[in-house]
Amino acid sequence: MKIPPHELAKALADATAHAAGLSRENAELQSVLGAMREAVVAVGPDERITRVNAAAAPLLGMTADSARGRLLGESLRHPVITRVARAGLSGKVDEGEMEIFVPAKNASPGGSSALARRLFQVRGTPMPGRTGAVLVLHDVTQLRRLEVVRQDFVANASHEIKTPVAAIQGVVETLADAPEMNETDRARFMDILTRQTSRLSKIIEDLLTLSRIERGLAVDLAGFSPEPLAPIGSAAVEACAPRANAAKVLIEADFDAGLALPCDPSMIERALVNLLENAIKYGGSGGRVAFRIARENNQAVLEVRDFGAGISSEHLPRIFERFYRTDKARSREQGGTGLGLSIVKHIAESHGGRVSVESSPGAGATFRIHLPLAPPPAALPA
Amino acid sequence: MPRILIIEDEADLRELVAWHLTKEGFETASAASGEEGLTLAVREAEAGRPFSLVLLDWMLPKMSGIEVCKTLRQNAKTAALPVLMLTARGEETDIVRGLEAGADDYVTKPFSPKVLVARAQAVLRRTQPVDAEAPIRAGKITLDPARHEVTAAGLSVTLTSGEFKFLRLLLTRPGRVYTRTQIIGAVHDGFAAVTDRSVDAMAVQLRRKLGAHGDVVETVRGVGYRLKA
């Protein structure tokens, strides 16, 4: 069969235009996929990977190009993703959650092999005509973590509040029902009442403090003039002196007298008192507490360090949460409400700063409040 | 004299509860942590003088009440030890978790000491060892395990094998709440799949067949079922 040259040329031009269109569509698709936060993996009917986006590459442990053509099970082995992929290939939508280990994002330079545990929600959707399946992986690690924090908070808060209420209610009922109770028992019950009432009122006071700070001191901060930090530090030491003396703990203060920044001095003092009280409680009797206020780069660092038993690493990421306790029995015995560190964190954040903690078992703990120092006057707009 | 073990980390609550139980004629022993309580319960059981009941707080430092309960259940020496959970977690899912860990009953904080004592006595009453073959009576209902017969006010009631097992479970411990999962465990015959929904359907059938006495099968919202005591 003979095709006239002009028709051949036209067919060729059409095909080229079509190909150009396709490659433009392809490029568009690539950039849409590339912009996605979710990982996308497409597989063919033989379970071989046909396409992955940039977010998927680290999960597969290889570049997008080298993943193409490999069996899904070779690159990402997990029963959930296999199940979801097969459902997609047989024309069904399926989803599930799986836990996998992926290279940590902020791995230290030397530790390139560091892996982080992540939780992914996987959803598989069939492609038209059973030509394959698309798997979308959504990272829900943070979401699930926050759910745990919230559930723990609700459970801990109800425990912390209902326990004193239970004791108070029980004692009141007991006293009302037993008018002939002997003096010794009566005195013991009155003790319980006094102790639990004061505990409940401390918790309520701390919760109110937290909600006051949350309502936004940060907005009003502009109204405060620069306050020197050293006198605030001295006031905190003063406030903690009776406790420190009782526990035979020496507070060694080392303040940079020149540091000042706009802040609510009573709030900062409160935060420092909380940190000092903790250090006195957990630093061990007869010990010492190092209390430093210093400039570091463009920050004021308020640091309280004890030399006690320290805190094991599993607690450190959660220690500033409300009602989080590393040792419930011990901290309650010490009269804590479980809110002290959370208040410190909120005060620091309401001043545009942050908190940090460093500790290892046996080596004590160091708590720091980092507050941004005001930019030098020259940098301020006239 | 029944002896009750109180596992509660809050000293004041421990003292308060012990005072009331002593006043009602119980002997008490106390433990401030799950580990301590567990050791005491096992040691006393091994020495041939097991506790009659454990009052167990859920939120304990380190080992939780749930873990203590599960561990007691796994140990042959303490598997039958009645457990009454004390919990500040009033959510239904929490209560289901407690019951499924093997608790016989639960009391939510804050509680009235009088009510707590009454609940403890109820648990003690219904956890008396029962003769597996003896007919069980509750109100107008009689269930005879040996003859596989149920009568309501003297009239014979025809039940399926699943419904029979369901009713028997409730009758053995009047007032004790069973979760759907526990009911499935009791009625499952190894063939038909039993789901939460089919437990609910079975309860509806049971009530219908028991006619005027059907209301003894009581729904505990979000938790499960119990025999109205």
pLDDT digits (tens, 9 = 90+) for A221-257: 667 788 999 999 999 999 999 989 988 899 999 999 9
Phi, psi of B105 (to 5 degrees): -160, 175
- Mean pLDDT, rounded, for A162-166: 91
pLDDT at B194 over 80: no
pLDDT score for B81: 92
Say if the Cβ atoms of B59 and A328 lie within 8 Å: yes
Question: How close, in Å, is residue A186 to chain B by CA atoms?
Answer: 11
Sign of CA dihedral A166, A168, A169, A173: positive
Question: How close, in Å, is residue B141 to chain A by CA atoms?
Answer: 38
pLDDT score for A381: 47
pLDDT score for B191: 55
Are the beta carbons of B82 and B126 closer than 8 angstroms? Answer: no
Range name among A17-26, A306-315, B140-149 with the lowest pLDDT average = A17-26
Helix, strand, coil content of chain B in percent (nearest 5): 45, 20, 35
- Mean pLDDT, rounded, for B52-72: 91
Say if the Cβ atoms of A163 and B13 lie within 8 Å: yes
CB atoms within 10 A of CB B108: 18
- Mean pLDDT, rounded, for A108-126: 76
pLDDT at A59 over 90: no
CA dist A292 and A281 (Å) reads 18
Question: How close, in Å, is residue A100 to chain B by CA atoms?
Answer: 27
Reported as a pLDDT band with limits 50, 70 and 90, residue B30 is very high
Range name among A318-327, B14-23, B86-95, B116-125 with the lowest pLDDT average = B86-95
Most confident segment among A327-331, B29-33, B96-100: B29-33
Question: Measured between beta carbons, which residues in chain B are less than 8 angstroms from residue A165?
Answer: 109-110
Q: What is the CA radius of gyration of chain B?
A: 18
pLDDT at A157 over 90: no
A81-104 burial, b if ≥16 CB within 10 A, otherwise e? bbbbbbbbbeeeebbbebebebee
CA dist B15 and A6 (Å) reads 104
Question: How close, in Å, is residue B187 to chain A by CA atoms?
Answer: 30
Which distant-in-sequence residues (6+ apart) come within 8 Å of A227 by Cβ? A260, A261, A262, A263, A265, A268
- Which residue has better confidence, A152 or B27? B27
Say if the Cβ atoms of B19 and A185 lie within 8 Å: yes
- Mean pLDDT, rounded, for A344-359: 92
pLDDT at A129 over 90: no
Query: Could you give the angle at the alpha carbon of A289 between the alpha carbons of A283 and A292, nearest 5°?
Result: 140
- Mean pLDDT, rounded, for A51-69: 84
Reported as a pLDDT band with limits 50, 70 and 90, residue B76 is confident
pLDDT at A194 over 90: yes
Question: How close, in Å, is residue A58 to chain B by CA atoms?
Answer: 37
pLDDT score for B212: 87
What strand order describes the sheet that includes B224-227? B178-179, B224-227, B217-220
- Could you tell me the CA-to-CA distances from A207 to A167, A211, A328, A350 in Å, in that order? 20, 6, 18, 16
Q: Kindly report the average pLDDT of chain A as a whole number.
A: 85
With pLDDT > 90 as the criterion, what percentage of chain B qualifies? 35
pLDDT score for A378: 47
Question: Measured between beta carbons, which residues in chain A are less than 8 angstroms from residue B19?
Answer: 174, 185
Question: Measured between beta carbons, which residues in chain B are less than 8 angstroms from residue A174?
Answer: 16, 19-20, 113
Say if the Cβ atoms of B88 and A169 lie within 8 Å: no
- The torsion defined by the Cα of A91, A96, A102 and A104, in degrees rounded to 10, comes to 130
Contact B109/A at CB under 8 A: yes
pLDDT score for A380: 45
- Mean pLDDT, rounded, for B26-55: 94
DSSP A318: G
pLDDT at A81 over 60: yes
Range name among A37-51, A327-341, B133-147 with the lowest pLDDT average = A327-341
- Both tokens of B227, joined, read 């025999």
Search chain B and give the residue with CA nearest A189: B16
Question: Measured between beta carbons, which residues in chain B are less than 8 angstroms from residue A196?
Answer: 12
CA dist A256 and A353 (Å) reads 18
H/E stretch holding A148 reads: helix A141-177
Tell the residue number behind the tokens 């003979």, with chain if given. A2
pLDDT at A217 over 70: no
Sign of CA dihedral B199, B204, B207, B211: negative
CA dist B36 and A329 (Å) reads 13
Reported as a pLDDT band with limits 50, 70 and 90, residue A125 is very high
* Minimum-distance CB partner of A155 among B15, B20, B89: B89
pLDDT score for A106: 55
Range name among A227-241, A255-269, A368-382, B77-91 with the lowest pLDDT average = A368-382
Contact B19/A at CB under 8 A: yes
Reported as a pLDDT band with limits 50, 70 and 90, residue A219 is low
pLDDT at A56 over 50: yes
Search chain A and give the residue with CA nearest B113: A170
Predicted ipTM of the assembly: 0.70
Q: Kindly report the average pLDDT of chain B as a whole number.
A: 88
- Both tokens of A370, joined, read 């980092």
Reported as a pLDDT band with limits 50, 70 and 90, residue A1 is low
- Mean pLDDT, rounded, for B120-137: 80
With pLDDT > 70 as the criterion, what percentage of chain A qualifies? 90
pLDDT score for B130: 64
Which distant-in-sequence residues (6+ apart) come within 8 Å of B18 by Cβ? B6, B28, B30
pLDDT at A12 over 60: yes
H/E stretch holding A369 reads: strand A365-372
pLDDT at A177 over 90: no
Search chain A and give the residue with CA nearest B62: A327
